[in-house]
């Protein structure tokens, strides 16, 4: 069974755990990047679903995902799906130019969008890129 890590920091979309499970994933949910780092020290998921949060008050980084990206450099098999707000689209585009993001969904996040994105990611994964 494939494993999915959902990092739900802000929310604002439906509970997607039942969807992930219906797609055949064993699902783990954490509510902070700190907890995600701890999780990734012990477990390597097939897919991570995370939220992009751009804030000007981050001291040494432009978003909440920088630390996660440093960890994922060492885990190239892990796919990353990111949810982002429309008002962060420009910053997210700059982030994405620097970091490998396998798929992204702009809010509003719906089950249909997530199902389609995951299906495409897993199809790409199955075909070996």
User: Does pLDDT of 128 surpass 70?
Assistant: no
pLDDT for res 123:
85
User: Does pLDDT of 35 surpass 60?
Assistant: yes
How many structural domains does the chain have?
1
pLDDT for res 6:
98
What predicted TM-score, i.e. pTM, was given to this entire model? Answer: 0.91
Q: Which domain holds residue 68?
A: 2-126
Q: How far is CA 42 from the centre of its chain?
A: 18
pLDDT for res 46:
97
User: Does pLDDT of 37 surpass 70?
Assistant: yes
pLDDT for res 61:
59
Gap between the Cα atoms of 127 and 42, Å rounded:
27
Q: What confidence category does residue 57 fall into, taking pLDDT thresholds of 50, 70 and 90?
A: low
What CATH number has the domain bearing residue 44? 3.40.50.2300
Gap between the Cα atoms of 39 and 48, Å rounded:
11
């Amino acid at each position: 069974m494939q494993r999915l890590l959902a990092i739900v920091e802000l929310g604002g979309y439906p509970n997607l755990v039942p969807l992930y499970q219906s797609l055949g994933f064993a699902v783990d949910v954490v509510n902070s990047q700190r907890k995600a780092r701890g999780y990734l020290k012990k477990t390597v998921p097939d897919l991570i679903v995370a939220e992009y949060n751009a804030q000007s008050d981050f001291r040494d980084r432009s978003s909440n995902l920088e630390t996660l990206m440093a960890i994922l450099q060492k885990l190239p098999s892990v796919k990353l799906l990111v949810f982002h707000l429309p008002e962060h689209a420009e910053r997210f585009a700059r982030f994405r130019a620097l970091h490998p993001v396998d798929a992204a969904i702009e809010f509003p996040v719906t089950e249909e969008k997530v199902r389609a994105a995951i299906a495409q990611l897993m199809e790409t994964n199955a075909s070996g890129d």
